[in-house]
Amino acid sequence: MSVHLVNPSDNSFGTAVITPRWLFVLAAATPSLAGDPILIDESIEQIIPESIQSGDIVGISVHTGNALRGYEVGRIARERGAWVIYGGIHATLFPEEAFERGEAHAEVKGDGDIAWGKAVTDILSGADPEKIYEGGRIGGTDFLAARWDLMPRDKYMWASVQTIRGCPKHCSFCSVWRTDGQQPRQRPHQSVIDEIVNLRQIGFRFIALADDNFYPVTLTDLRLAREQNNEAKLAELTAIRAERFLLMAELAKLPKDMVFFTQITMEAGEDGEYLDAMRKANIKGALVGVEAVTPEGLKAVFKDFNYSGEALARQLQTFKKHGVHVLGSFIFGLPTDKPATFDATVEMALKAGVTFAQFVMMTPFPGTVDFARWEKEQAKAPEVVATPTGDIPITRYWLIPTAIRPKMFTPHPSMSSAEISQRTQKVWDRFYDWTSIWQRSACTPTLRARVAFMFLSKLYRQMYAGTGISTDSARRKKSKTWARWTAKQCRKLFAAKPMPELQSPAWEHAFSSANLRRPAFLGPQENPSPFTVITKS
């Protein structure tokens, strides 16, 4: 019997930009009795059905974007006699769907660090698995370190490490605060550093800090707690902030060739001390949710704590002045958008000195305020889309095959979906034309780095500008071929020489890394990574 963990995807590029962290964390959560799991990341290559045998266990994690493919993989696995278990954000939000569409035997809801192991243990013992395993929201000290020894190191440009889960904000388009909670759950910085040392030892110097929000406590949060004389809240927030600074101080001690990237809210632009600590920690860049450039647009997405207009440009420039490059995220298709909004947005992104940018069309994701509002409106006059398997309500758009899936789902008061799509594509083209990319590449220190920057910029645009890929199959095939070639060249540029001699700090207080503090029922990790560092007490 084998355990398979599958990251579903319709698009395989041979090389991936960032490791799907969950795949390697659940590998760590797999009971030692089951042996090393077989990991399949379909963003690299699709699964070979014949590799699944009767009696195997197949774990599939789905989010809204890959749910349809995930259900297809589940049906393949079930047909071959395997046990099928689903998890991930989408399965947590729509638990019945995995049983109805993906032929699941069981499902893990919430965090899988502990619950996944329980499901596998039940099957190994010969018992039928429970229908639902409630993973809930575990504390930061229970976060497992990933099994990087199982990673194909020549397939990924960036590794990923998580330091915190949860986000205190409540943006209308985001589900994180509902699925991961608004209470930040912070992992001990010693565990984070040990895992990063592990990755540098095996040759990764580019690492994404895959956090919901790397800036969980703002200066405004602290001020309000003081003004309200809420001593308990102030102490809690102060402790979270202090732990962030401890983490960044330790990151600063790592080899100087390391590069970190994360995601934070715009409010960090007001916190010069925090940005300076990020720069010293070699956190070179961050995805910042700008979303809209007008006050009306920000209000529409419950993000009116962001600046707009000239103030927005200045705040974005502040990040760069403190040495943190910005990947700005912008949303088109808000009810307040007008044709002029598109040009104004790209001009703002260029003027503000944003190093990278993504321009996405408004999509109501399950679990968000926007989705709940849209679903309620649709209930009055349901819209359906005809598919080969029957009519699908538009509010279940992820079940509609990609080739016939609408680009947008919510009607706009003044523009058609086609117009918004075309205008969005022009913004991508303008921001990522060769001249603009070359000018932005001046932020890098060497010619080699500039070349890498230009390749990565074009690759990013090709992989993520989904509005630009026609439903015409020939164009999609050509696009994927080009992206595959570019990804392979980028991987070479990001490769680093392994540093097996690098050691983790000897922590002042007794501490054991999370990957060594496994739940007892999982058993000892019989074949740990040869690079695992056991810290001294």
Tokens at residue 35, please?
A: 């042996």
Residues sharing a CB contact under 8 Å with residue 457, sequence separation 6 or more, in sequence order: 356, 432, 437, 440, 441
SS3 annotation, 290-307: EECCCHHHHHHCCCCCCC
> Are residues 488 and 14 in contact, defined by beta-carbon separation less than 8 angstroms?
yes
The strand pair at 83-87 and 16-18 is best described as unpaired
Among 29, 338, 18, 295, CA closest to 161 = 18
- The reported pLDDT for the residue numbered 494 is 82
The one-letter amino acid code at 174 reads: C
CA nearest 221: which of 230, 209, 210? 230
pLDDT band of residue 3 (cuts 50, 70, 90) is very high
Residues 454-510: pLDDT tens digits? 888 887 887 777 543 333 444 456 556 766 777 777 777 788 899 999 999 988 765
Q: What is the CATH number of domain 148-494?
A: 3.80.30.20
**Residue 190's pLDDT band (cuts 50, 70, 90):** very high
With a cut of 80, say whether residue 80 has pLDDT above it.
yes
Range of lowest pLDDT (14-23, 104-113, 431-440): 14-23
Cα angle: 113, vertex 114, 119; to 5 degrees: 115
User: Is 308 a residue whose pLDDT tops 70?
Assistant: no
Mean pLDDT of 345-367: 90
If phi over 0 gives left and psi between -120 and 50 gives alpha, with beta otherwise, what is residue 51? alpha
Q: What is the pTM of this model?
A: 0.87
The least confident of 82-91, 406-415, 510-519 is 510-519
pLDDT exceeds 80 at position 172: yes
b (16+ CB within 10 A) / e for 336-374: bbeeebbeebbebbbebbbbbbbbbbbbbbbbbbbbeeb
Asked if 513 contacts 145 with a C-beta cutoff of 8 angstroms, the reply is: yes
pLDDT in tens, 445-466: 889 889 888 888 887 887 777 5
Nearest one of 216, 211, 137, 209 to 169, comparing CA atoms = 216
CA distance 183 to 168: 6
CA distance 361 to 397: 14
Tell the residue number behind the tokens 């963990």, with chain if given. Answer: 5
pLDDT grade, residue 518 (50/70/90)?
Answer: low
Whole-number average pLDDT of the chain: 87
Q: What integer pLDDT is reported at residue 314 of this predicted model?
A: 84
The pLDDT value recorded for residue 521 is 58
Residue 526 confidence (pLDDT):
46
Q: Where are the domains of the chain?
A: 3-138, 148-494
| CB neighbour list of residue 45: distance below 8 Å, 6 or more residues apart | 12, 14
Q: Which residues contact 381 (CB under 8 A, 6 or more apart)?
A: none
For residue 533, which amino acid is it?
V
Per-residue pLDDT, 122: 97
Residue 408: pLDDT band (50, 70, 90) is: confident
Taking the C-alpha atoms of residue 490 and residue 480, their distance in angstroms, rounded to an integer, is 15
Average pLDDT over residues 430-453: 90
Nearest to 366 by CA among 111, 178, 134: 178
Confidence grade of residue 525 (pLDDT, cut at 50, 70, 90): low
One-letter identity of residue 111: D
Q: How far apart are CA 514 and CA 499, in angstroms?
A: 22
What does DSSP say about strands 384-387 and 106-110: parallel, antiparallel, or unpaired?
unpaired
Using DSSP, state whether 388 is helix, strand or coil.
coil
Which residue is associated with the tokens 């910005």? 326
Q: Is the C-alpha dihedral spanning 272, 277, 282, 287 positive or negative?
A: negative
- Return the SS3 of 111: coil
Residue 212: both structure tokens together: 């919901």
Read off the pLDDT of residues 221-235 as tens digits, 9 standing for 90 and up: 999 999 999 999 999
CB 266 within 8 A of CB 288: yes
Is the distance from CB of 248 to CB of 193 less than 8 angstroms? no
Per-residue pLDDT tens over the stretch 234-291: 999 999 999 999 999 999 999 999 999 999 988 899 999 999 999 999 999 999 988 7
Three-state SS string over 116-137 comes to: HHHHHHHHHCCCCCCCEEEEEC
CA–CA separation, 30 vs 47, rounded Å? 20
- CA 423, chain centre distance (Å): 26
* The domain made up of 3-138 is a member of CATH 3.40.50: yes
Nearest to 210 by CA among 161, 177, 148, 244: 161
Count of helix runs (H) and strand runs (E) in the chain = 18, 17
pLDDT score of 533: 33
Closest CA to 26 of 1, 47, 2, 5: 5
Distance CA(103)–CA(234), nearest Å, equals 48
The pLDDT of residue 4: 98
pLDDT per position as a tens digit, 382-402? 999 999 989 999 999 999 998
3-state secondary structure of 336: coil
Contact call for residues 374 and 393 (beta carbons, < 8 A) = no
Q: Which residue has the higher pLDDT, 405 or 189?
A: 189
The answer, yes or no, to whether residue 148 has pLDDT greater than 60, is yes
Each residue of 63-74: pLDDT tens digit?
999 999 999 999
